[in-house]
Chain A
């Protein structure tokens, strides 16, 4: 009401038609109402498409998944009895769940860290004065266009344990073969290379865009001061990119916690290895839902993953704020 009160004193219509009081009053009332609606509703209408879409594709599945997770629920048979938190209890008591959680984090760290560092370096190289600049810049995006399954096929061939190219090369230089499909850490590394192959170029382009926005006079001043290219990169480029780096780290975190494609195509069965060496949380969800057709338990894991991502995003947010503050004080 406070808003409409403030609007009421000066509607343009009111001043234009003072000579016909009775009708003007009715018109006034209507236009008043209109403008009140306008003020009250329009902003919501403007932003509603996103929220309607979000409610349909985001909120509904989210809540429905929670509902499913409280039941015995067969994939084909559908809803069974209400079981309360039994599914959560069951899942949390499974060593498979904790194993999947550990694998997810391991693969995430092995992929995100080198990915961000490499992307920064590539972006710095692309930022330099190159011939055929656009060609090189588009070039780094090529791996991103390749379907993950195709990437999986190629890398599978490279990382085959006995006759794979990587092991052949290792043997050639006198090193023993690595057991890519049985040693957990080796399998995580192999999957992380697939992830990095796809995403490094994408992140490099984001960094490049941010780098282009750094004022060139900073570099000129640094050059006059006698700073080399490495020094310039470390003392100007990286600090100026801080917000972008934070953005990339957050998106990489969320993507990393949901890793599925690359790990699933790492062998023929897609179950994460005979000893679940590289079974991630999303693959565990897949196994419960589509393999065992127990949607209740699968939904419980999905919700746990959701809570985990919310938690980590919160932590990310807090750290981001602190860094931003520090940046401001400098």
Chain B
């Protein structure tokens, strides 16, 4: 960070640089604190989370982001445990939460007693297991789907986070557009039509596009690639941390397959996911299908308000897939680790997760929760009353591969998404030249 520029700007124009100055001083402070963090980090060994609970009055802080659906659960917990007061710190976005978490980890202080983390930034935290209490406990064994627990377990068997929700993927589609193109539109028929490998998904897409010129088959190459790469065990890194992304034939094959489908067959709507164009594309019938993890339903409903015809097919090409989901961790910085662990345990128990699902639609990752009637009977009125609870429960069970995500997973995947965007959205490169830039970017890590 350009801490060096602070004196110059403040001297020249205090008002103008105020916003930057604040940001810079914050960063400068965190730089300074890195030293202390370093010392503390080296000294702190995980003391485990033994200790009695319920003996003294404690205030537990819980940091979450977006919507975890915990508001009512907190009240319930407080009334059941009179010695506990819960303070909820809610960040608006997961990025904000991540910046906050990493900065305070580096500083060595300031974290909440329970910190929610997203599976996306779990790998980079798995490098510092000493910073998180070991949550292994016979009482919670077998509570989660295997792949959910595995992702948060270190090689020597320490569990750093309790799984909350998960992101099993299905295919969301526009029944009305399917009908126009002469394809079956009933959700069971569509599931059958799309079952099989990715080539089949693209091939149905080619039929669709041939019948319906103005509408693309899917929203973006990047989003589709994400679904495909999440089915590869060691896409970018081997378990010992060697980066293989640029040599892995599987990665290159998926890259070429999805780009050929997107540009040569023109199946993509050429929209960068999350861009304003992408959001607007829902209203202008830009595409007919998209891969949807459970949490995507709310986003589709928001962007496509007023559009009729969305439905969910109980299928995912190439086997099951998971995209996203979160964990609750107990940082070793905290003073009340035992109480915090107890609360995290309670919050991620199946009954509570079903309640969170009812409140905000976060799909549980607990085996028992997946069998609960309350969950299985859930339907979604926006998606033509599709039995969303049942569909995603089945999708969760279809997940076979837990992709290994090493510490460099994020920068590499970012570089890959940019490579796809260059060809699919920006069209500044063809597949070959964009791949070369991807290789250069990975080599620069």
Contact = CB atoms under 8 A, between A and B. Distances in A.
Given A64-B3, A274-B422, A160 B31 contact: no
Interface residues of A, number: 65
A121 interface: no
Contacts of A305: 2, 4-5
A160 B24 CA distance: 30
A95 B444 CA distance: 10
B19 interface: yes
Nearest to B101: A76
B1 A289 contact: yes
Nearest to B39: A78
A251 B11 CA distance: 10
Contact of B5 (A60, A164, A258, A298): A258
B3 A61 contact: yes
Contacts of A299: 1
B426 A292 contact: no
Interface string B105-131: 110000000000000000010011001
Contact of B410 (A66, A255, A291): A291
A302 B2 contact: yes
A267 B272 contact: yes
A163 interface: yes
A79 B440 CA distance: 27
B414 A271 contact: yes
Contact of B426 (A77, A268, A275): A275
Interface residues of B, number: 64
A161 to B, nearest CB: 6
28 contacts: A58-B6, A58-B7, A61-B3, A62-B6, A62-B7, A76-B124, A76-B128, A148-B19, A160-B275, A160-B276, A163-B280, A163-B281, A181-B275, A182-B426, A182-B427, A202-B15, A250-B12, A254-B8, A254-B12, A255-B16, A261-B20, A268-B273, A273-B418, A274-B421, A275-B428, A285-B1, A292-B411, A295-B34
Contact of A163 (B8, B284, B421): B284
B124 A57 contact: no
A217 to B, nearest CB: 32
B440 A156 contact: no
B42 to A, nearest CB: 8
Interface of B: 1-10, 12-13, 15-17, 19-20, 23-25, 28, 31-32, 34-35, 37-38, 41, 99, 102, 105-106, 124, 127-128, 131, 271-277, 280-281, 284, 410-411, 414, 417-419, 421-422, 425-429, 437, 440-441, 444-445
B6 A255 contact: no
Given A267-B272, A292-B445, A258 B9 contact: yes
Interface in A35-92: 54, 57-62, 64-66, 68, 73, 75-79
B276 A163 contact: yes
Contacts of B7: 54, 58-59, 62
Dominant secondary structure at the A interface: helix
Contact of B277 (A78, A96, A160, A254): A160
B46 to A, nearest CB: 16
Interface string A210-222: 0000000000000
Given A76-B102, A292-B445, 14 more contacts: A58-B7, A58-B10, A60-B28, A76-B124, A77-B128, A78-B35, A78-B106, A163-B284, A267-B272, A268-B273, A274-B417, A302-B4, A303-B4, A310-B8
B305 to A, nearest CB: 16
Contacts of B16: 199, 202, 251, 255
B419 A274 contact: yes
Given A96-B444, A293-B124, A164 B276 contact: yes
A156 B280 CA distance: 12
Contact of B4 (A164, A181, A255, A306): A306
A289 B31 CA distance: 11
Nearest to B444: A94
A260 B35 CA distance: 27
A282 interface: yes
A269 interface: yes
A290 interface: yes
A101 interface: no
Contacts of A202: 15-16
A-B residue pairs, 3 tightest by C-beta: A306-B4, A78-B38, A182-B426
